[in-house]
Structure 1
Amino acid sequence: MGQQSLLEWIWQVWPVCPRHDLGVHSSERGGAAVWWCAGGGGHMLAPVGELARALGRRRPK
């Protein structure tokens, strides 16, 4: 399910940057796929695949 489909289904933005309370978007930065927040001049929240760790959640084993 893409971000747009999720937004239409739950009417919430996801994922959200905990520092800026803004929705983040997948992006390509420096040749890597990342979750990017536009807050504070822009910053990487996490590499794609590492979002749970960046949000303080453990990935299921």
Structure 2
Amino acid sequence: MKAIRGVLLTCDSAVKQILLTLNERENFIIEDLDDFHVVIKADEEYRVRRELEAELEKNTYSLE
């Protein structure tokens, strides 16, 4: 049996909701600890951070 390594992510509740939505497409969350912490698969960390950045950029707006 292969052990899965995890990485603890700390985030606010808005980012966590995005992570939960992304997780529905491709499971990477090992454990949902509380409102501000999740453990994700270590080998998925880079991809998840990239996808999260892309989602956050979509939600960024400017009043210019």
Q: Highest relative contact order (Cα 8 Å, sep 6+), 1 or 2?
A: 2
**TM-score normalised by the chain length of structure 1:** 0.26
Counting helix residues as a fraction of each chain, which structure ranks higher? 2
Counting strand residues as a fraction of each chain, which structure ranks higher? 1
Q: Choose 1 or 2 for highest CA Rg.
A: 2
